[in-house]
Amino acid sequence: MSRDVITAVDLKKHFLTKAGTVRAADGVTFSIRENETLGLVGESGSGKSTVAYTVMGIYKATSGKLTFKGKDITIDSDHRPKQLKKDIQIVFQDPGSSLNPRLSIRQILDLPIKVHNIADKKNRDNRILELLEMVELPPDYMYKYPRAIGGGERQMVAIARALATDPSFIVLDEPTSALDVSVQAKIINLLLQLQKELNLTYLFITHDLSLMRNMATRVAIMYLGKICEIAPTAEFFKNPRHPYTQMLLSSIPVVSEDEESLKPKKIISQGEIPSPVDVPPGCSFHQRCPKCMDICSRVDPVTVQIGDGHEVRCHLYS
């Protein structure tokens, strides 16, 4: 049985602003096992990238606990040991801004190799060529600059940079959202191939549910800083339980009647998404939920298990 690589327990990250306290992540609990992909899905502002950056140590958790292979890592990156920084890497959403335009691709890939002593000076170029081959880029790309290559190729360089330290866990923060659809498929296939070859574990952040069918082992849905449902991918698409999840799935565009028949019954949400500074009492979704009950406006539901690996945070099941 595979072990947990990352575990978050009641993880919170709040930001103090002039308007008030933004509860970007507000009690998030999940685990990711070896060699699996957890897809963390939500609308813009749901808190999914905040969770990713807190896992990375870019943000320091307000409270809660994070562990990596059983070791407590609930500290910011400045205080994390060098080995941990080597083991956990990230691929950002926009390679145009995450790659230094003044550095050649050789210099970009050489930096993590040098910092983490992956190869001695005379063998660094060999390692760089090996990384380019992994992401299916020609050897001469090491002499190019990010501005001279396309968006998909820049993202491949970003993936190569993440692989440079031989990590076991990679956070993928919407790695395809800034790319053309044709390029998205190539990047997804590359990530799946690398995962299999290198025994990688992924946290895949996205707002695109359709990507999750082939990419994720399990899917977690976030709404206003909290996970409202988490399930194995096949079960998630076949039997969504939370009204918000059903609403999201029913809105996925399809191209055939057969696909349409597999979708949940259309659910029309009510009202607007509340501000994360002024989250409503009780269930944060109750103001938009067509199945809202009296208790929903008063009591925040707890997460309950309703099947093998299927959990939902909703009063309909508690």
Would you say 28 and 8 are in contact if contact means Cβ atoms under 8 Å apart? yes
Q: What residues contact 46, with CB distance under 8 A and at least 6 apart?
A: 222, 223, 224, 225
Nearest to 142 by CA among 97, 90, 103: 103
Q: What residues contact 93, with CB distance under 8 A and at least 6 apart?
A: 173, 174, 175, 177, 178
Q: Answer yes or no: pTM beyond 0.75.
A: yes
Q: Note the pLDDT of residue 253.
A: 63
The residue ranges of every structural domain in the chain are: 4-313
Q: What residues contact 38, with CB distance under 8 A and at least 6 apart?
A: 30, 32, 202, 203, 204, 216, 217, 218, 219, 220
User: Does the CA dihedral 277-283-287-288 come out positive or negative?
Assistant: positive
Confidence of residue 316 (pLDDT cuts 50, 70, 90): very high
pLDDT tens digits along 56-114: 999 999 999 999 999 999 987 788 888 999 999 999 988 888 899 999 999 999 999 99
* Single-letter amino acid, residue 262: L
Domain 4-313 has CATH 3.40.50.300: yes
